[in-house]
Amino acid sequence: MVDDPPAIILDSSPILHFFQASRTEALLRLVEGMSCHVASPVIDHLQACDDRIAVWIRDAGFTVVSLQGVEELRVFVEYTQRLGSGPREVGEAATLGWAEVHGATAIVDEHVGHRYGVSRHVTVHRSPWLLMRGMCRTSALSSDEARVLVEELLTSGMALPVTSGNEFVDWVETNPQL
């Protein structure tokens, strides 16, 4: 029997910044081997930013999930009560709620949502985790590729805990256990 690949659900921030940096192929390498999902409210938010993103998500083979059923909707409402109900917050709430109900890993960059998901025992990571995982665990990125990619993501406006690709690679190489 073959185990199902681990499920991951992405909020808008990582998708938007990889798209803006024209590095969607790198995002696909970083999530390779995972069952990738995007919540429909995230699609709505991204489509408002650039309608090509929703097309790319579907073409890339990500599964677009809609919250259905009493448990998914109950958890979603709990998240919206805490995070808010604007377009970005609804996407974040849907991402975290779906991850909670389905035992998936959520990639959420926003601090409040990240912290609230963790408090509810959801496995939540930020975008740098994908990059670190790509360097240390899956070899999807070499150090040189990571340097360039981080520079491009920083230029796109992605908030990262470093100011350069060199700083990121140095940090990862000295903390490979993260």
Which alpha helices (DSSP H) does 31-164 contain, by range?
40-49, 51-59, 69-83, 87-102, 111-119, 127-136, 143-156
Whether residue 46 is contained in a domain is answered as yes
What's the pLDDT score for residue 177? 65
87 lies in some domain: yes
Say if 146 falls within a structural domain: no
Alpha-carbon gap, residue 79 to 114, rounded angstroms: 11
134 assigned to some structural domain: no
The yes-or-no verdict on residue 66 having pLDDT over 90 is yes
Output the pLDDT for position 40: 96
Whether 113 is covered by a domain: the verdict is yes
* Number of independent structural domains in the chain: 1
Let me know if residue 47 belongs to a domain: yes
pLDDT band per the 50, 70, 90 thresholds, residue 175: confident
Let me know if residue 136 belongs to a domain: no
Q: Place 155 in a pLDDT band, splitting at 50, 70 and 90.
A: very high
Structural domain boundaries enclosing 70: 7-127
Residue 110: which CATH number?
3.40.50.1010
Q: What pLDDT band is residue 176 in, cutting at 50, 70 and 90?
A: low
Is this structure's pTM higher than 0.85?
A: yes
pLDDT digits (tens, 9 = 90+) for 89-131: 999 999 999 999 999 999 999 999 999 999 999 999 999 999 9
Question: What percentage of residues in the chain have a pLDDT greater than 90?
Answer: 85
Is 104 a domain residue?
yes
